[in-house]
Structure 1
Amino acid sequence: MDENIVIMLKRIGRVCRPLLAIALALTLALAPIGAVWARSGGRIGGGSFRSPTFSAPRSIGPHYSAPVYPSYGGGFGFPLLVPFFWGGGGGGLLTLLLLVGAGSFLVQTLRSGIRSEEGDDSIGVRDPQVTVAQVKVGLLASARQLQKDMNALALEADTQSPEGLSQLLQEVTLGLMRYSDYWAYGHAQADRLPLSRAESLFYQASLQERSKFSVESLSNRNNQIQQVSQAALQRSAAGIPDVGEYLLVTLLVAYRGNLGTLPVVNSMADLRQCLLQLASIPADRIVAIEVLWTPQLEGDTLSAEALLTEYPEMRLL
């Protein structure tokens, strides 16, 4: 009886083994992309919210002070007393006292007003207004050349100087507009905040986007390049069908002042206008920039389901 049971179990095992293999293959094929293939991401960025540009000068505008003369006895300036005595009259004393008192009051008022204005300006310089803009573009995966252009830019971009950051912004926006035929989704928003709060918002948005990558496979931050080799992230030998449908590029730009409100993205024209506004930011107003894109590695994939799940703010163009 025991031997029969063992034989039966072996037969069941032989029959079920192919079924288990098929079930495992289906599980891998239907599983979320991130579970079977580390979704790669690229990052290019630079700038600092601690730039010396934002430090307040010691003073704003010239200081004014009344002329100081040596005083004698009663405390009135000697040049004022001499004409009084030379006049020989006592009737002018009251008039002189009133004039001196009025002059002293005006000088003190002027000094107080200047100090007050300088204090207000210093506060404004210490915590100026900064705009944090976010523009996201979802493109069809057939725009693979843009992916290659972004990879090359990450290895060559100067991300330490304002001029380099301005050139980076120009090249990314120009590259995206060249591939406008592949645009599928878009999103834009801008928040104008004091410097201290803008810094927090900028890095929070950056971390939120980077957390959606399984691995940051290429990074250039302040000219510090880090790269993960393609071989280290190859697919398994069994192979998984390439179901990638989209590329996603995110632009984060912090800049001083306000260069206009970004339109709500409901069409390709709105998205193009957003990119043009970012491209027009002068180099001396740029505080910080981050460009993030996924997937970064060739052959990596981003499905429509993943795009809509992880980026619910994106709108169909």
Structure 2
Amino acid sequence: MLQKTTKLFLTTVAAIATINTIELPQAPNTSHSWLKPQQEVQARSSGGRSGGGSFKKGSSGSSSRSSSGSSSSSSGSGSSRGSSTPSRSHNNSSTYYNNSRNYSTSTTYYSGGSGGAGIFFGVVFFGIFGIILFAIVYSTLKSAFSGNSNDNNSTAYSRERDNDIVTISRLQIALLALATDVQSGLTELSLRVDTSTEEGLQELLQESVLILLRSSEYWTHHVNSSQKINIDQAEAKFNSLSLEERSKLSSETLSNIEGNIKEKSVISPDDESAMYIVVTLLVGTAHDKPLFEDIRTPDDLKEALNSLGSMPSDYLLKFELMWSPQTENDSLSYDEFISEYSNMIDLI
């Protein structure tokens, strides 16, 4: 009996030990740290986008440039016609001068012994009308040379603006997460402007440049590119660059493309590891050469932004503004930043 009890006891102990060594699968715990960062990534990598325009000829932008070009030609023709007017004035004045001189001579003839007075009045008339004649000739020549110079500048301007060469530029800036005014400012701007019009597109570019310049103390990194390209290839190239940047976003929580506004709600958890905001300017212009090349310092970056902001309206063909994250409550963590924007370099 004792032997059976001992054997049963040993068997029980062995069974318990075997059960303890077996690891049973457990359901995933939603509070685990590996899931929480993924949720934050989805929220923080959302972004905003606004813009419009087109490289296609016959669009509203091209039509307006053609119209402005025609206006320039008309004004140039007007200048040519205007420059001929001083020539006629010159001839009239010469005739008037000759008549006056004949009058002075005849006066001297009839005055008899007053030869000294006639000579005096002749010198006075000659001096006065000589000065007038010189002023007319000088003004005519100056107007002619100035008109030629303006016509040359206008021709060069029209040639660059209306030919088949365009430039596509990308300027991307990373800022510290403290620059929350950038996100709120770009959101308000994108909701306000009408990106389906040339005026709205110009305002979007200028105001976004101003917002970035006002937060220059928060700049940390940048990347830029600018290249000229045939207008037939420009649309595809621009869209390719746009898709490349948009692919870095989990979703676009705000967009205003060609005046079509779309919004999505986003829940933004607070995160002490949040560090960066990234703003991208993608610009298509009528320039025949790159807008910028080597940007190393904040001053270089300011110069590039000022160049974009002061661009003539008839040179701006297409523009897209993108920023991530979209709301001021979000920002990219360091790991997200170096993962999605690994090509950005430090500002010196």
- 2:298: which partner in 1? 268
For residues 161 and 278 of structure 2, the distance between their equivalents in structure 1, rounded to whole angstroms, comes to 37
Q: CA deviation at 1:243?
A: 1.8
Q: CA deviation at 1:29?
A: 5.1
Match of 2:228 among 192, 199, 203: 192
Asked whether the equivalents of residues 263 and 270 of structure 1 are also in contact (C-alpha less than 8 Å), the reply is no
Asked whether the equivalents of residues 166 and 231 of structure 2 are also in contact (C-alpha less than 8 Å), the reply is yes
Which entry has the higher C-alpha Rg, 1 or 2?
2
Asked whether the equivalents of residues 189 and 264 of structure 1 are also in contact (C-alpha less than 8 Å), the reply is no
For residues 54 and 294 of structure 2, the distance between their equivalents in structure 1, rounded to whole angstroms, comes to 28
- 2:54: which partner in 1? 48
1:166-205 superposed matches below 5 A: 166-205=202-241
Q: CA deviation at 1:10?
A: 12
- The amino acid across from 1:179 in the alignment is S
For residues 307 and 184 of structure 2, the distance between their equivalents in structure 1, rounded to whole angstroms, comes to 25
Q: CA deviation at 1:126?
A: 9.0
Asked whether the equivalents of residues 244 and 303 of structure 1 are also in contact (C-alpha less than 8 Å), the reply is yes
Normalising by structure 1, report the TM-score.
0.66
Match of 1:155 among 157, 179, 191: 191
- 1:284: which partner in 2? 314
Match of 2:337 among 293, 307, 310: 307
- 1:224: which partner in 2? 260
Change in 2 beyond 3 A, CA 1:308/1:194: same
1:84-95 superposed matches below 5 A: none
Structure 1, unmatched stretches of 5+, are 62-123
Q: Deviations over 1:69-124 (max 9, x none)?
A: xxxxxxxxxxxxxxxxxxxxxxxxxxxxxxxxxxxxxxxxxxxxxxxxxxxxxxx9
For residues 21 and 181 of structure 2, the distance between their equivalents in structure 1, rounded to whole angstroms, comes to 54
Structure 2, unmatched stretches of 5+, are 1-10, 74-159
Asked whether the equivalents of residues 273 and 334 of structure 2 are also in contact (C-alpha less than 8 Å), the reply is no
- 2:156: which partner in 1? none
Larger helix percent: 2
- 1:25: which partner in 2? 32
For residues 263 and 152 of structure 1, the distance between their equivalents in structure 2, rounded to whole angstroms, comes to 31
Asked whether the equivalents of residues 276 and 334 of structure 2 are also in contact (C-alpha less than 8 Å), the reply is yes
Match of 1:129 among 140, 143, 165: 165
What count of residue pairs does the alignment treat as equivalent?
242
- The amino acid across from 1:270 in the alignment is D
**Pair 1:316 & 2:322 matched:** no
Asked whether the equivalents of residues 255 and 285 of structure 1 are also in contact (C-alpha less than 8 Å), the reply is yes
For residues 267 and 166 of structure 2, the distance between their equivalents in structure 1, rounded to whole angstroms, comes to 42
Q: Deviations over 1:272-292 (max 9, x none)?
A: 111111112111111110000
Q: CA deviation at 1:43?
A: 0.3
- 1:144: which partner in 2? 180
Q: CA deviation at 1:142?
A: 0.5
Query: Per the alignment, in what secondary structure is the counterpart of residue 26 of structure 1?
Result: coil
- The amino acid across from 2:53 in the alignment is G
